[in-house]
Amino acid sequence: MKYTFNEEKDFDIVAIGRACIDLNAVEYNRPMEETMTFSKYVGGSPANIAIGSSKLGLKAGFIGKIPDDQHGRFIEAYMRNTGVDTTQMIVDKEGHKAGLAFTEILSPEECSILMYRDDVADLYLEPSEVSEDYIANAKMLLVSGTALAKSPSREAVLKAVQYAKKHQVKVVFELDYRPYTWQSADETAVYYSLVAEQSDIVIGTRDEFDVMENRTGGSNEESVIDHSADLVVIKHGVEGSYAYSKSGEVFRAQAYKTKVLKTFGAGDSYASAFIYGLVSGKDIETALKYGSASASIVVSKHSSSEAMPTADEIAQLIEAQS
């Protein structure tokens, strides 16, 4: 089974939401208290997915707000140099700063992220700053859950989804749940459900779907299959991933073996490669395999955005472990 898009659109994917700074520990197997050196990368789920999609050969655009400072200029230049269209990146004039994430790599299984998300520029994207024409010219709009956490970003994303629906643009919702940006579980569930109901593809971990449903300990996949989306993709880490179609079909892909360095970045690389698989005309099961293989590659490397693989690298890993 293949997934179809409107081939007349110029952009394969337009992502909306956060673009920020990742500072990843250069010193492995050390607590952050003792870590002295970090490497700087662009971070943020929708930014990473746009970068990953562009590196795979898709035409990607990005809508977001960045600070009017050195970090903002670094983010824009990096994304532009990877091939992402940055003409819809709005420069904040109110003094808000870039989100900042310090990562700790204690061991391949023990990684933590210290996130600074108070009053950050990306959450000040206004609905009036979202271009209807830009979204109308895309095959799909990628929405990230974190952008729904605060106003006015929340309304800007809902406006973008409205434009997408109006112009037959597929809406892909990457749940990307970050608890520290939300006031309560009820608030999260309300806005996640609101966007999921308007989405064509929803991607997340089992835990993230539980958050959307405001419940814990979910093991019954049926609870997320009764949905309006064409495809629901649930990631189970080392146990692989599943896609459930509206027509009742179930697809599965295994996880791929790798030498794990760290645990973060896997979700964004999964989403970009899964989307690439769909857009390039591969069947859903193959697209799942592309997502799994890409995630496997990224967790074996130091960064998230910089480590995004090429299509050839993904294909080689799949073939080597088939």
Residue 220 falls within a domain, yes or no? yes
pLDDT, position 225: 54
Question: What is the C-alpha separation between 129 and 152, in angstroms, rounded?
Answer: 11
Q: Please give the structure tokens belonging to residue 47.
A: 């930014």
CATH number of the domain where residue 72 is located: 3.40.1190.20
Q: Each residue's pLDDT tens digit in the chain (322 positions)?
A: 789 899 999 999 999 999 999 999 999 899 999 999 999 999 999 999 999 999 999 999 999 999 999 999 999 999 999 999 999 999 999 999 999 999 998 888 888 999 999 999 999 999 999 999 999 999 999 999 999 999 999 999 999 999 999 999 999 999 999 998 999 999 999 999 999 999 999 999 999 999 998 887 655 555 555 568 999 999 998 899 999 999 889 999 999 998 888 888 899 999 999 999 999 999 999 999 999 999 999 999 888 889 899 999 999 999 999 8
What single letter denotes the amino acid at residue 285? E
pTM: 0.96
Q: Please tell me the total count of domains within the chain.
A: 1
Residue 272 falls within a domain, yes or no? yes
Return all residues near 258 (Cβ < 8 A) that are at least 6 apart: 296, 297, 299, 300
What single letter denotes the amino acid at residue 157? V
pLDDT, position 117: 95
Range of the domain at 223: 13-19+46-98+124-320
Q: Please give the structure tokens belonging to residue 266.
A: 């896997």
Residue 113 falls within a domain, yes or no? no
